[in-house]
């Protein structure tokens, strides 16, 4: 097919945001309420879920809705080693002042107090003279930040009853601890000192973000933030809609069997759904119908790309004990209880908890409920099962890692069990097994195989 329709890649907004209608409807009600009554109507929201489920995309849709209500949206991205939240806000203010934005000019004094300096205004100056972030870490008064946001919100709405401020923070789990503490305290001060201010917050994070907040000194984050869990998979109806509706807008239909093939192959995982839909669209002959054969070719191409660009490099960077843990989880189809993993690996939970924590931090697994863990990427299950034996042979002292047959025996799984969940397509499994057998590290003939992960941790 001609042109580009589907949108694979992190943060790209798909042509149809299927399966998120309920969340966006609820957010529209929140926007209405905060405009009507201020902070009592606000729900400062954390969108939590594994990687690739569309958290950033959903937050972008929420920001767009807020902008349509007249809100000034301030988007921030958390990253290790970056400037503090206050530095980001101050630089954002300087940029908007340079653009001669009216509300920002009226709120300039409040942001000057926040920065601790005078923010330059074009044409006099477009720069912000601030100290190095490390010099000011933890010194900011949350009340001053709350006042700056409330003042800006008042300037935006300007008595019209429309508009306010929406602050967003992507990847909250990697933000600095003092930033998270400051943000939480500022939102609380807004509730106490500026109850009529139309100010909202939304952020994204991995499922363990609440524990990160507690570690940063935020007490009872569940009372301050409304938690919205973004599911790992779309349901079958939402997955089908994400395929069919964009094509219909181009005058193209999907054969029902082609839809079913991609629904099953992607397992409803949004990141892989967009990739498979995109590759199918690219390879389809057209002009009006996407056939089953088109979908088969597209799924194969997508699976090869996922293995080469995502699964392979991530597996290479995984230390041996984490590989072993993932293999045990894959033996159970990608999801298991803590007790099941203890049995499968022959070790107690106290010996496995640090491995689990590292995999949670990396986003390879997540915990949908207490005592239960699941692999983030459905297609990682067949890949890990196909790759583990070779990787085990390459580490120092491979006998210290449990082999697959032993894992299967302990788990009560037949040794010839399929290397993928029963609802995944055999074709995807075979493609991934083939690619995993080749292993991406062998793709460069000048680069010899290495022992993955270095020496075995004791």
Check whether residue 302 and residue 343 sit in a common domain: no
The domain total for the chain is 3
End position of a domain, from candidates 283, 313, 343: 313
End position of a domain, from candidates 195, 212, 229: 229
Check whether residue 294 and residue 160 sit in a common domain: no
> Would you put residue 286 in left (φ > 0), alpha (ψ -120 to 50) or beta?
left
Instruction: Report how far residue 1's alpha carbon sits from residue 353's, in angstroms, rounded to the nearest whole number.
Output: 49
Compute the mean pLDDT over every residue in the chain, rounded to the nearest whole number: 84
Taking Cα atoms as reference points, which of 188, 173, 100 lies closest to residue 142?
Answer: 188
Residue 431 has pLDDT above 70, yes or no: no
More confident residue, 100 or 396: 396
Band of the pLDDT at 453, cuts 50, 70, 90? very low
Residue 376 lies in a domain: yes
Instruction: Report how far residue 84's alpha carbon sits from residue 69's, in angstroms, rounded to the nearest whole number.
Output: 29
Q: Report the relative pairing of strands 372-375 and 199-205 from DSSP bridges.
A: unpaired
Check whether residue 196 and residue 288 sit in a common domain: no
Residue 394 has pLDDT above 80, yes or no: yes
Residue 449 lies in a domain: no
More confident residue, 110 or 170: 170
* Segments forming the whole domain that contains residue 378: 317-442
Check whether residue 207 and residue 296 sit in a common domain: no
User: What φ, ψ does residue 61 adopt, rounded to 5°?
Assistant: -65, -40
Check whether residue 264 and residue 351 sit in a common domain: no
Check whether residue 119 and residue 51 sit in a common domain: yes
Residue 14 lies in a domain: no
Residue 2 lies in a domain: no
Token match 């931090």: residue?
A: 361
CB 286 within 8 A of CB 252: yes
| pLDDT tens digits along 360-381 | 888 899 888 889 999 988 888 8
- Residue 275 confidence (pLDDT): 94
More confident residue, 90 or 123: 90
Q: Which of 19-23, 98-102, 306-310 has the lowest mean pLDDT?
A: 98-102
More confident residue, 451 or 78: 78
Percent residues over pLDDT 90 in the chain: 55
Taking Cα atoms as reference points, which of 264, 312, 295, 316 lies closest to residue 450?
Answer: 316
| pLDDT tens digits along 230-272 | 988 888 899 999 999 999 999 999 999 999 999 988 888 999 9
Check whether residue 324 and residue 246 sit in a common domain: no
CB 372 within 8 A of CB 301: no
Check whether residue 45 and residue 138 sit in a common domain: yes
Q: Which of 156-160, 326-330, 420-424 has the lowest mean pLDDT?
A: 420-424
| pLDDT tens digits along 400-421 | 999 999 999 999 877 655 444 4
Taking Cα atoms as reference points, which of 48, 46, 45, 55 lies closest to residue 11?
Answer: 55
Residue 113 has pLDDT above 70, yes or no: yes
Q: Report the relative pairing of strands 226-229 and 45-48 from DSSP bridges.
A: parallel
DSSP 311: I
Check whether residue 286 and residue 328 sit in a common domain: no
End position of a domain, from candidates 229, 246, 270: 229
* DSSP string computed for 332-397: TTTEEEHHHHHHHHT--HHHHHHHHHHHHHHTSEEEEETTEEEESSTTHHHHHHHHHHHHHHHSSS
Check whether residue 118 and residue 44 sit in a common domain: yes
Check whether residue 309 and residue 321 sit in a common domain: no
- Residue 138 confidence (pLDDT): 43
Residues 6+ away with beta carbon under 8 Å from 89: 74, 76, 111, 114, 145, 148
- CATH number, domain with residue 224: 3.40.50.300
Top mean pLDDT of 84-93, 287-296, 427-436 is at 287-296
- CATH number, domain with residue 242: 1.10.8
Residue 402 lies in a domain: yes
Residue 194 lies in a domain: yes
Residues 6+ away with beta carbon under 8 Å from 16: 241, 242, 245, 246
Residue 453 lies in a domain: no
- Residue 106 confidence (pLDDT): 81
Residue 373 lies in a domain: yes
- Residue 135 confidence (pLDDT): 40
Average pLDDT score over residue span 117-141? 45
Band of the pLDDT at 140, cuts 50, 70, 90? confident
User: What φ, ψ does residue 289 adopt, rounded to 5°?
Assistant: -135, 135
Residue 82 has pLDDT above 80, yes or no: no
Band of the pLDDT at 328, cuts 50, 70, 90? very high
The three-class DSSP label of residue 6 is coil
Taking Cα atoms as reference points, which of 182, 92, 77, 75 lies closest to residue 128?
Answer: 92
Q: What pTM value is reported for the model? A: 0.77
Check whether residue 55 and residue 127 sit in a common domain: yes
Instruction: Report how far residue 216's alpha carbon sits from residue 205's, in angstroms, rounded to the nearest whole number.
Output: 15
């Amino acid at each position: 097919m001609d042109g580009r329709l589907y949108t694979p890649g992190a943060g790209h907004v798909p042509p149809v945001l299927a399966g998120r209608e309920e969340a966006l409807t609820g957010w529209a009600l929140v926007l209405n309420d905060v405009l009507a009554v201020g902070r009592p109507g606000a729900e400062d929201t954390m969108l939590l879920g594994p990687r690739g489920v569309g958290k950033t995309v959903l937050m972008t849709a929420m920001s767009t809705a807020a902008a349509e209500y007249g809100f000034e949206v301030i988007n921030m991205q958390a990253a290790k080693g970056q400037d503090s939240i206050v530095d980001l806000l101050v630089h954002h203010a300087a940029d908007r002042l340079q653009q001669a934005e009216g509300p920002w000019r009226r709120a300039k004094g409040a942001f000057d107090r926040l920065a601790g300096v005078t923010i330059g205004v074009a044409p006099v100056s477009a720069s912000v003279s601030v100290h190095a972030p490390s010099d000011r870490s933890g010194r900011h008064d949350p009340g001053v930040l709350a006042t700056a946001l409330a003042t800006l919100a008042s300037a935006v709405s300007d008595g019209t009853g429309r508009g306010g401020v929406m602050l967003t923070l992507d990847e909250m789990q990697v933000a600095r601890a003092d930033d998270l503490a400051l943000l939480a305290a500022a939102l609380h001060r807004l509730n106490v000192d500026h109850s009529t201010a139309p100010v909202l917050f939304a952020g994204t994070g991995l499922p363990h973000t609440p524990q990160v907040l507690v570690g940063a000194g935020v007490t009872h984050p569940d009372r301050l933030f409304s938690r919205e869990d973004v599911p790992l998979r779309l349901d079958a109806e939402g997955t089908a809609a994400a395929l069919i509706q964009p094509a219909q807008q181009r005058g193209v239909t999907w054969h029902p069997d082609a839809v079913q093939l991609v629904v099953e192959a992607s397992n409803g995982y949004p990141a892989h759904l967009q990739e498979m839909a995109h590759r199918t669209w690219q390879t389809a002959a057209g002009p009006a119908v996407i056939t089953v054969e088109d979908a088969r070719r597209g799924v194969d191409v997508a699976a090869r790309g996922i293995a080469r660009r995502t699964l392979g490099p991530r597996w290479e960077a995984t230390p041996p004990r984490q590989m072993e843990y993932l293999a045990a989880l894959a033996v159970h189809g990608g999801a298991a209880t803590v007790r099941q993993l203890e049995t499968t690996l022959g070790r107690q939970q106290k010996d496995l908890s640090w491995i689990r924590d590292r995999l949670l931090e990396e986003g390879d697994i997540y915990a949908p409920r207490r005592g239960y863990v699941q692999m983030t990427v459905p297609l990682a299950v067949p890949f890990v099962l196909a790759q583990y034996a070779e990787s085990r042979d390459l580490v120092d002292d491979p006998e210290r890692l449990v082999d697959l047959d032993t894992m299967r025996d302990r788990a009560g799984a037949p040794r010839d069990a399929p290397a993928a969940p029963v609802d995944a397509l055999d074709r995807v499994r075979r493609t991934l097994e083939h690619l995993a057998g080749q292993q991406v590290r062998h793709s460069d003939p000048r680069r010899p195989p290495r022992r993955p992960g270095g020496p075995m941790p004791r």
